[in-house]
Structure 1
Protein backbone atom coordinates (compact mmCIF):
# COMPACT_ATOMS: atom_id res chain seq x y z
CA UNK A 1 0.00 0.00 0.00
CA UNK A 2 2.83 2.39 0.92
CA UNK A 3 5.32 0.81 -1.47
CA UNK A 4 4.96 3.23 -4.39
CA UNK A 5 5.27 6.49 -2.38
CA UNK A 6 8.26 5.07 -0.51
CA UNK A 7 9.93 3.95 -3.74
CA UNK A 8 9.29 7.37 -5.27
CA UNK A 9 10.84 9.13 -2.25
CA UNK A 10 13.90 6.90 -2.41
CA UNK A 11 14.30 7.52 -6.13
CA UNK A 12 13.89 11.29 -5.80
CA UNK A 13 16.28 11.67 -2.85
CA UNK A 14 18.82 9.36 -4.48
CA UNK A 15 18.65 11.34 -7.73
CA UNK A 16 19.02 14.70 -5.98
CA UNK A 17 21.85 13.29 -3.86
CA UNK A 18 23.67 12.12 -6.96
CA UNK A 19 23.33 15.55 -8.58
CA UNK A 20 24.44 17.38 -5.44
CA UNK A 21 27.36 14.99 -4.98
CA UNK A 22 28.50 15.56 -8.57
CA UNK A 23 28.35 19.35 -8.17
CA UNK A 24 30.30 19.17 -4.90
CA UNK A 25 32.89 16.96 -6.55
CA UNK A 26 33.31 19.29 -9.52
CA UNK A 27 33.55 22.34 -7.25
CA UNK A 28 36.96 21.10 -6.11
CA UNK A 29 38.35 19.89 -9.41
CA UNK A 30 41.86 21.12 -8.55
CA UNK A 31 42.09 18.98 -5.39
CA UNK A 32 43.59 15.49 -5.23
CA UNK A 33 41.16 12.68 -6.01
CA UNK A 34 41.07 11.39 -2.45
CA UNK A 35 40.27 14.80 -0.94
CA UNK A 36 37.72 15.61 -3.66
CA UNK A 37 35.65 12.49 -3.00
CA UNK A 38 36.24 12.63 0.74
CA UNK A 39 34.94 16.17 1.08
CA UNK A 40 32.16 15.85 -1.50
CA UNK A 41 30.62 12.89 0.33
CA UNK A 42 31.13 14.48 3.74
CA UNK A 43 29.48 17.71 2.59
CA UNK A 44 26.66 15.76 0.95
CA UNK A 45 25.98 13.90 4.19
CA UNK A 46 25.87 17.18 6.13
CA UNK A 47 23.54 18.75 3.54
CA UNK A 48 21.08 15.84 3.66
CA UNK A 49 21.02 15.85 7.47
CA UNK A 50 20.43 19.62 7.44
CA UNK A 51 17.48 19.17 5.08
CA UNK A 52 16.01 16.48 7.33
CA UNK A 53 16.49 18.71 10.37
CA UNK A 54 14.82 21.66 8.63
CA UNK A 55 11.65 19.86 7.54
CA UNK A 56 10.18 19.53 11.04
CA UNK A 57 10.45 23.23 11.94
CA UNK A 58 9.24 24.21 8.46
CA UNK A 59 6.12 22.11 8.90
CA UNK A 60 5.38 23.79 12.26
CA UNK A 61 5.92 27.27 10.82
CA UNK A 62 4.07 26.88 7.52
CA UNK A 63 0.35 26.39 6.94
CA UNK A 64 0.91 25.12 3.40
CA UNK A 65 -0.16 21.50 2.96
CA UNK A 66 2.68 20.65 0.58
CA UNK A 67 5.22 21.38 3.35
CA UNK A 68 3.62 18.77 5.61
CA UNK A 69 3.68 16.32 2.73
CA UNK A 70 7.47 16.65 2.71
CA UNK A 71 7.82 15.32 6.27
CA UNK A 72 8.09 11.64 5.22
CA UNK A 73 11.19 12.56 3.20
CA UNK A 74 13.10 12.93 6.47
CA UNK A 75 13.45 9.15 6.54
CA UNK A 76 15.06 8.88 3.10
CA UNK A 77 17.21 11.97 3.64
CA UNK A 78 18.61 10.41 6.81
CA UNK A 79 19.26 7.05 5.18
CA UNK A 80 21.22 8.49 2.25
CA UNK A 81 23.07 10.88 4.57
CA UNK A 82 24.34 7.89 6.52
CA UNK A 83 25.25 5.98 3.35
CA UNK A 84 27.25 9.00 2.15
CA UNK A 85 28.96 9.19 5.55
CA UNK A 86 29.88 5.49 5.37
CA UNK A 87 31.55 5.92 1.98
CA UNK A 88 33.20 9.12 3.28
CA UNK A 89 34.65 7.08 6.17
CA UNK A 90 35.89 4.31 3.89
CA UNK A 91 37.71 6.84 1.70
CA UNK A 92 39.42 8.32 4.79
CA UNK A 93 40.46 4.89 6.06
CA UNK A 94 41.85 3.78 2.70
CA UNK A 95 43.14 7.03 1.24
CA UNK A 96 44.09 9.26 4.17
CA UNK A 97 45.18 7.08 7.11
CA UNK A 98 45.87 4.07 4.84
CA UNK A 99 44.35 1.59 7.31
CA UNK A 100 46.79 2.67 10.01
CA UNK A 101 44.11 3.15 12.67
CA UNK A 102 46.48 4.90 15.06
CA UNK A 103 46.74 7.72 12.51
CA UNK A 104 42.97 8.09 12.60
CA UNK A 105 43.34 9.25 16.20
CA UNK A 106 46.21 11.66 15.60
CA UNK A 107 49.17 9.33 16.15
CA UNK A 108 52.16 8.94 13.84
CA UNK A 109 54.95 6.39 14.07
CA UNK A 110 58.21 7.97 15.25
CA UNK A 111 61.13 6.04 13.71
CA UNK A 112 63.67 7.23 16.28
CA UNK A 113 61.49 6.44 19.29
CA UNK A 114 60.13 3.30 17.60
CA UNK A 115 56.64 4.00 18.83
CA UNK A 116 53.54 6.01 17.98
CA UNK A 117 53.35 9.58 19.28
CA UNK A 118 50.42 12.01 19.33
CA UNK A 119 50.99 14.77 16.77
CA UNK A 120 47.46 15.90 15.84
CA UNK A 121 45.22 16.35 18.87
CA UNK A 122 42.45 18.09 16.93
CA UNK A 123 42.42 15.39 14.25
CA UNK A 124 41.89 12.77 16.96
CA UNK A 125 39.00 14.62 18.60
CA UNK A 126 37.32 15.46 15.30
CA UNK A 127 37.47 11.83 14.18
CA UNK A 128 36.11 10.61 17.51
CA UNK A 129 33.15 12.96 16.98
CA UNK A 130 32.81 11.68 13.41
CA UNK A 131 32.83 8.04 14.51
CA UNK A 132 30.21 8.77 17.18
CA UNK A 133 28.07 10.52 14.55
CA UNK A 134 28.43 7.58 12.18
CA UNK A 135 27.40 5.07 14.87
CA UNK A 136 24.38 7.20 15.78
CA UNK A 137 23.54 7.50 12.11
CA UNK A 138 23.72 3.77 11.47
CA UNK A 139 21.32 3.09 14.36
CA UNK A 140 18.93 5.78 13.11
CA UNK A 141 19.08 4.58 9.49
CA UNK A 142 18.61 0.93 10.51
CA UNK A 143 15.43 1.82 12.43
CA UNK A 144 14.04 4.27 9.86
CA UNK A 145 11.39 1.88 8.58
CA UNK A 146 7.86 0.78 9.41
CA UNK A 147 9.03 -2.67 10.53
CA UNK A 148 11.27 -1.20 13.25
CA UNK A 149 8.58 1.26 14.29
CA UNK A 150 6.05 -1.55 14.73
CA UNK A 151 8.48 -3.88 16.51
CA UNK A 152 9.92 -1.29 18.88
CA UNK A 153 6.66 0.49 19.62
CA UNK A 154 5.91 4.15 19.07
CA UNK A 155 7.48 5.49 22.29
CA UNK A 156 10.78 3.55 22.02
CA UNK A 157 11.08 4.24 18.30
CA UNK A 158 10.47 7.96 18.81
CA UNK A 159 13.07 8.06 21.60
CA UNK A 160 15.67 6.47 19.30
CA UNK A 161 14.85 8.83 16.44
CA UNK A 162 15.32 11.84 18.70
CA UNK A 163 19.01 11.00 18.41
CA UNK A 164 18.87 12.94 15.15
CA UNK A 165 19.68 16.08 17.13
CA UNK A 166 22.78 14.41 18.56
CA UNK A 167 23.76 13.23 15.08
CA UNK A 168 23.32 16.76 13.71
CA UNK A 169 25.56 18.45 16.28
CA UNK A 170 28.24 15.78 16.15
CA UNK A 171 28.32 16.18 12.37
CA UNK A 172 28.47 19.98 12.62
CA UNK A 173 31.40 19.88 15.06
CA UNK A 174 33.24 17.26 13.01
CA UNK A 175 32.82 19.31 9.82
CA UNK A 176 33.73 22.61 11.49
CA UNK A 177 37.10 21.25 12.59
CA UNK A 178 38.13 20.25 9.07
CA UNK A 179 36.82 23.46 7.53
CA UNK A 180 38.43 25.87 9.97
CA UNK A 181 41.16 24.29 12.09
CA UNK A 182 42.83 21.13 10.78
CA UNK A 183 45.24 22.61 8.27
CA UNK A 184 46.28 25.38 10.65
CA UNK A 185 48.54 22.77 12.24
CA UNK A 186 50.68 23.01 9.12
CA UNK A 187 50.45 26.83 8.86
CA UNK A 188 48.75 26.52 5.49
CA UNK A 189 45.37 25.58 4.07
CA UNK A 190 45.78 22.48 1.97
CA UNK A 191 44.23 21.71 -0.42
CA UNK A 192 43.08 25.14 -1.57
CA UNK A 193 40.76 26.84 -2.09
CA UNK A 194 38.09 25.78 0.38
CA UNK A 195 34.94 27.69 -0.54
CA UNK A 196 32.65 25.83 1.88
CA UNK A 197 33.28 27.82 5.07
CA UNK A 198 30.66 30.55 4.55
CA UNK A 199 28.00 28.18 3.08
CA UNK A 200 28.58 25.88 6.06
CA UNK A 201 27.95 28.71 8.54
CA UNK A 202 24.88 29.83 6.57
CA UNK A 203 23.49 26.29 6.54
CA UNK A 204 23.97 25.75 10.26
CA UNK A 205 22.59 29.23 10.98
CA UNK A 206 19.50 28.57 8.84
CA UNK A 207 18.72 25.30 10.64
CA UNK A 208 19.19 27.00 14.01
CA UNK A 209 16.95 29.90 12.99
CA UNK A 210 14.19 27.55 11.83
CA UNK A 211 14.35 25.53 15.03
CA UNK A 212 14.26 28.65 17.19
CA UNK A 213 11.36 30.17 15.24
CA UNK A 214 9.39 26.90 15.44
CA UNK A 215 10.05 26.63 19.19
CA UNK A 216 8.85 30.21 19.78
CA UNK A 217 5.74 29.61 17.68
CA UNK A 218 4.92 26.40 19.55
CA UNK A 219 5.44 28.19 22.88
CA UNK A 220 3.07 31.01 21.84
CA UNK A 221 0.45 28.52 20.66
CA UNK A 222 0.59 26.64 23.96
CA UNK A 223 0.24 29.89 25.92
CA UNK A 224 -2.84 30.85 23.89
CA UNK A 225 -4.40 27.43 24.47
CA UNK A 226 -3.79 27.65 28.22
CA UNK A 227 -5.20 31.19 28.30
CA UNK A 228 -8.30 30.06 26.42
CA UNK A 229 -9.01 27.33 28.96
Structure 2
Protein backbone atom coordinates (compact mmCIF):
# COMPACT_ATOMS: atom_id res chain seq x y z
CA UNK A 1 0.00 0.00 0.00
CA UNK A 2 1.49 3.32 -1.07
CA UNK A 3 1.23 6.46 1.02
CA UNK A 4 -0.64 8.16 -1.83
CA UNK A 5 -3.38 5.52 -1.89
CA UNK A 6 -3.64 5.61 1.90
CA UNK A 7 -4.05 9.39 1.94
CA UNK A 8 -6.55 9.27 -0.94
CA UNK A 9 -8.74 6.75 0.85
CA UNK A 10 -8.69 8.76 4.07
CA UNK A 11 -9.62 11.95 2.24
CA UNK A 12 -12.47 10.30 0.35
CA UNK A 13 -13.96 8.67 3.44
CA UNK A 14 -13.46 11.84 5.48
CA UNK A 15 -15.30 13.85 2.80
CA UNK A 16 -18.12 11.26 2.77
CA UNK A 17 -18.32 11.36 6.57
CA UNK A 18 -18.40 15.15 6.72
CA UNK A 19 -21.05 15.45 4.00
CA UNK A 20 -23.24 12.80 5.61
CA UNK A 21 -22.82 14.33 9.05
CA UNK A 22 -24.05 17.75 7.97
CA UNK A 23 -26.85 16.23 5.88
CA UNK A 24 -28.14 14.30 8.91
CA UNK A 25 -27.81 17.43 11.07
CA UNK A 26 -29.69 19.56 8.54
CA UNK A 27 -32.50 16.99 8.18
CA UNK A 28 -33.63 17.45 11.79
CA UNK A 29 -33.91 21.20 12.01
CA UNK A 30 -36.85 21.07 14.44
CA UNK A 31 -34.83 19.20 17.10
CA UNK A 32 -32.71 20.69 19.85
CA UNK A 33 -29.11 21.21 18.79
CA UNK A 34 -27.80 18.57 21.17
CA UNK A 35 -30.11 15.90 19.76
CA UNK A 36 -29.38 16.98 16.17
CA UNK A 37 -25.65 16.45 16.61
CA UNK A 38 -26.13 13.39 18.77
CA UNK A 39 -28.17 11.62 16.10
CA UNK A 40 -26.07 12.97 13.21
CA UNK A 41 -22.88 11.42 14.58
CA UNK A 42 -24.70 8.21 15.49
CA UNK A 43 -26.35 7.94 12.07
CA UNK A 44 -23.18 8.53 10.06
CA UNK A 45 -21.37 5.95 12.18
CA UNK A 46 -24.10 3.42 11.39
CA UNK A 47 -23.96 4.25 7.66
CA UNK A 48 -20.16 3.86 7.51
CA UNK A 49 -20.31 0.46 9.23
CA UNK A 50 -23.15 -0.63 6.92
CA UNK A 51 -21.10 0.34 3.85
CA UNK A 52 -18.17 -1.69 5.16
CA UNK A 53 -20.49 -4.66 5.77
CA UNK A 54 -21.87 -4.43 2.22
CA UNK A 55 -18.56 -4.82 0.43
CA UNK A 56 -17.49 -8.35 1.30
CA UNK A 57 -20.85 -9.99 0.45
CA UNK A 58 -21.16 -7.89 -2.73
CA UNK A 59 -17.76 -9.07 -3.93
CA UNK A 60 -18.56 -12.71 -3.21
CA UNK A 61 -21.91 -12.44 -4.99
CA UNK A 62 -20.80 -10.50 -8.07
CA UNK A 63 -17.03 -10.66 -8.41
CA UNK A 64 -17.18 -7.20 -10.00
CA UNK A 65 -13.83 -5.49 -10.38
CA UNK A 66 -15.05 -2.12 -9.13
CA UNK A 67 -16.32 -3.74 -5.93
CA UNK A 68 -12.91 -5.39 -5.46
CA UNK A 69 -11.37 -1.94 -5.77
CA UNK A 70 -13.53 -0.70 -2.88
CA UNK A 71 -12.51 -3.46 -0.44
CA UNK A 72 -9.46 -1.54 0.91
CA UNK A 73 -11.82 1.29 1.94
CA UNK A 74 -13.27 -0.92 4.67
CA UNK A 75 -10.39 0.06 6.96
CA UNK A 76 -11.03 3.77 6.65
CA UNK A 77 -14.80 3.31 6.88
CA UNK A 78 -14.31 1.48 10.17
CA UNK A 79 -11.90 4.06 11.54
CA UNK A 80 -14.18 7.04 10.85
CA UNK A 81 -17.21 5.10 12.09
CA UNK A 82 -15.45 4.66 15.44
CA UNK A 83 -14.44 8.33 15.54
CA UNK A 84 -18.06 9.38 14.85
CA UNK A 85 -19.35 6.93 17.48
CA UNK A 86 -16.89 8.35 20.02
CA UNK A 87 -18.19 11.88 19.42
CA UNK A 88 -21.77 10.53 19.59
CA UNK A 89 -20.96 9.04 23.01
CA UNK A 90 -19.32 12.24 24.25
CA UNK A 91 -22.38 14.29 23.28
CA UNK A 92 -24.63 11.91 25.21
CA UNK A 93 -22.39 12.05 28.28
CA UNK A 94 -22.17 15.85 28.31
CA UNK A 95 -25.47 16.96 26.76
CA UNK A 96 -27.93 14.24 27.78
CA UNK A 97 -26.87 12.75 31.12
CA UNK A 98 -24.71 15.72 32.21
CA UNK A 99 -21.75 13.50 33.13
CA UNK A 100 -23.92 11.65 35.62
CA UNK A 101 -22.83 8.11 34.76
CA UNK A 102 -25.62 6.56 36.84
CA UNK A 103 -28.14 8.18 34.49
CA UNK A 104 -26.33 6.63 31.53
CA UNK A 105 -27.35 3.25 32.92
CA UNK A 106 -30.97 4.10 33.58
CA UNK A 107 -30.75 5.41 37.16
CA UNK A 108 -32.20 8.66 38.46
CA UNK A 109 -31.66 10.25 41.86
CA UNK A 110 -34.74 9.96 44.09
CA UNK A 111 -34.78 12.84 46.63
CA UNK A 112 -37.24 11.13 48.97
CA UNK A 113 -35.12 7.99 49.16
CA UNK A 114 -31.85 9.92 48.93
CA UNK A 115 -30.43 7.40 46.51
CA UNK A 116 -30.41 6.40 42.85
CA UNK A 117 -33.20 4.13 41.60
CA UNK A 118 -33.53 2.30 38.28
CA UNK A 119 -36.21 3.91 36.13
CA UNK A 120 -35.18 3.17 32.52
CA UNK A 121 -34.27 -0.48 31.98
CA UNK A 122 -34.22 -0.24 28.19
CA UNK A 123 -32.03 2.87 28.26
CA UNK A 124 -29.51 1.03 30.45
CA UNK A 125 -29.38 -2.06 28.24
CA UNK A 126 -29.18 -0.07 25.01
CA UNK A 127 -26.31 2.03 26.36
CA UNK A 128 -24.48 -1.07 27.54
CA UNK A 129 -24.76 -2.45 24.01
CA UNK A 130 -23.54 0.88 22.62
CA UNK A 131 -20.55 0.99 24.96
CA UNK A 132 -19.65 -2.61 24.09
CA UNK A 133 -19.87 -1.73 20.39
CA UNK A 134 -17.68 1.34 20.86
CA UNK A 135 -15.02 -0.55 22.83
CA UNK A 136 -14.87 -3.35 20.30
CA UNK A 137 -14.91 -0.84 17.47
CA UNK A 138 -11.83 0.81 18.98
CA UNK A 139 -10.07 -2.58 18.96
CA UNK A 140 -11.02 -3.15 15.32
CA UNK A 141 -9.96 0.36 14.27
CA UNK A 142 -6.67 0.12 16.17
CA UNK A 143 -5.78 -3.12 14.40
CA UNK A 144 -6.95 -2.06 10.93
CA UNK A 145 -3.42 -1.49 9.63
CA UNK A 146 -0.53 -3.39 8.12
CA UNK A 147 1.58 -3.04 11.28
CA UNK A 148 -1.03 -4.90 13.35
CA UNK A 149 -1.35 -7.52 10.62
CA UNK A 150 2.39 -8.18 10.70
CA UNK A 151 2.60 -8.18 14.51
CA UNK A 152 -0.46 -10.34 15.16
CA UNK A 153 -0.04 -12.69 12.25
CA UNK A 154 -2.66 -13.39 9.61
CA UNK A 155 -4.76 -15.98 11.54
CA UNK A 156 -5.05 -13.88 14.72
CA UNK A 157 -5.61 -10.66 12.78
CA UNK A 158 -8.40 -12.23 10.72
CA UNK A 159 -10.02 -13.62 13.87
CA UNK A 160 -10.06 -10.14 15.45
CA UNK A 161 -11.38 -8.46 12.31
CA UNK A 162 -14.15 -11.04 11.82
CA UNK A 163 -15.61 -9.63 15.02
CA UNK A 164 -17.00 -6.88 12.77
CA UNK A 165 -20.13 -9.02 12.51
CA UNK A 166 -20.55 -8.91 16.29
CA UNK A 167 -19.96 -5.16 16.19
CA UNK A 168 -22.62 -4.80 13.50
CA UNK A 169 -25.30 -6.53 15.57
CA UNK A 170 -24.44 -4.54 18.69
CA UNK A 171 -24.89 -1.35 16.66
CA UNK A 172 -28.17 -2.57 15.12
CA UNK A 173 -29.69 -3.42 18.52
CA UNK A 174 -28.47 -0.17 20.09
CA UNK A 175 -29.84 1.93 17.23
CA UNK A 176 -33.15 0.05 17.01
CA UNK A 177 -33.91 0.76 20.66
CA UNK A 178 -33.48 4.52 20.32
CA UNK A 179 -35.35 4.68 17.02
CA UNK A 180 -38.38 2.63 18.07
CA UNK A 181 -38.58 2.09 21.83
CA UNK A 182 -36.87 4.64 24.06
CA UNK A 183 -39.36 7.49 23.99
CA UNK A 184 -42.29 5.15 24.51
CA UNK A 185 -41.29 5.20 28.20
CA UNK A 186 -42.64 8.73 28.32
CA UNK A 187 -45.77 8.05 26.21
CA UNK A 188 -44.68 10.57 23.62
CA UNK A 189 -42.27 10.93 20.74
CA UNK A 190 -39.50 13.33 21.77
CA UNK A 191 -38.00 14.69 19.59
CA UNK A 192 -40.16 14.04 16.56
CA UNK A 193 -40.50 13.12 13.85
CA UNK A 194 -37.56 10.78 13.28
CA UNK A 195 -37.50 9.99 9.58
CA UNK A 196 -34.62 7.50 9.99
CA UNK A 197 -36.74 4.61 11.31
CA UNK A 198 -37.66 2.94 8.03
CA UNK A 199 -34.41 3.72 6.20
CA UNK A 200 -32.71 1.99 9.14
CA UNK A 201 -34.96 -1.04 8.68
CA UNK A 202 -34.24 -1.07 4.94
CA UNK A 203 -30.45 -0.83 5.33
CA UNK A 204 -30.42 -3.49 8.04
CA UNK A 205 -32.61 -5.83 5.98
CA UNK A 206 -30.50 -5.37 2.84
CA UNK A 207 -27.32 -6.03 4.81
CA UNK A 208 -28.73 -9.23 6.31
CA UNK A 209 -29.98 -10.43 2.91
CA UNK A 210 -26.60 -9.75 1.30
CA UNK A 211 -24.77 -11.62 4.04
CA UNK A 212 -27.12 -14.60 3.88
CA UNK A 213 -26.96 -14.69 0.08
CA UNK A 214 -23.16 -14.54 0.14
CA UNK A 215 -23.12 -17.34 2.72
CA UNK A 216 -25.30 -19.56 0.53
CA UNK A 217 -23.27 -18.80 -2.60
CA UNK A 218 -20.00 -19.53 -0.80
CA UNK A 219 -21.40 -22.82 0.55
CA UNK A 220 -22.59 -23.88 -2.92
CA UNK A 221 -19.24 -23.05 -4.48
CA UNK A 222 -17.43 -25.07 -1.85
CA UNK A 223 -19.79 -28.01 -2.37
CA UNK A 224 -19.28 -27.77 -6.12
CA UNK A 225 -15.51 -27.73 -5.72
CA UNK A 226 -15.57 -30.75 -3.39
CA UNK A 227 -17.87 -32.61 -5.78
CA UNK A 228 -15.58 -31.81 -8.73
CA UNK A 229 -12.50 -32.96 -6.83
CA UNK A 230 -14.22 -36.19 -5.80
CA UNK A 231 -15.18 -36.90 -9.39
CA UNK A 232 -11.61 -36.25 -10.42
CA UNK A 233 -10.30 -38.69 -7.82
CA UNK A 234 -12.77 -41.33 -8.96
CA UNK A 235 -11.68 -40.86 -12.55
Q: Report the TM range for the smaller structure's normalisation.
A: over 0.9
Match runs of 1:107-186 below 5 Å: 107-186=107-186
Count of aligned pairs: 229
C-alpha displacement of 1:111: 0.7
- Identify the residue that residue 60 of structure 1 maps to in structure 2: 60
Provide TM-score, normalisation by structure 2. Answer: 0.96
- Identify the residue that residue 9 of structure 1 maps to in structure 2: 9
- Identify the residue that residue 81 of structure 2 maps to in structure 1: 81
- Gaps (5+ residues) in structure 2? 230-235
SS of equivalent residue, structure 1 residue 195 = coil
C-alpha displacement of 1:63: 2.6
- Identify the residue that residue 70 of structure 2 maps to in structure 1: 70
C-alpha displacement of 1:125: 0.3
Q: 1:72-94 CA distances to partner (integer Å, 9 max, x unpaired)?
A: 01000000000000000000000
C-alpha displacement of 1:156: 0.8
Question: More displaced, 63-72 or 31-40?
Answer: 63-72
Question: Structure 2: how far apart are the matches of 1:47 and 1:63?
Answer: 23
Question: Structure 1: how far apart are the matches of 2:62 and 2:71?
Answer: 12
Root-mean-square deviation over aligned CA pairs: 0.7
SS of equivalent residue, structure 2 residue 29 = coil
Question: Structure 1: how far apart are the matches of 2:63 and 2:115?
Answer: 62
- Identify the residue that residue 28 of structure 2 maps to in structure 1: 28
- Greater radius of gyration (CA): 2
- Gaps (5+ residues) in structure 1? none
Is 2:122 aligned against 1:105? no
Q: 1:25-77 CA distances to partner (integer Å, 9 max, x unpaired)?
A: 00101100100000010011010000001100011111321111110010000
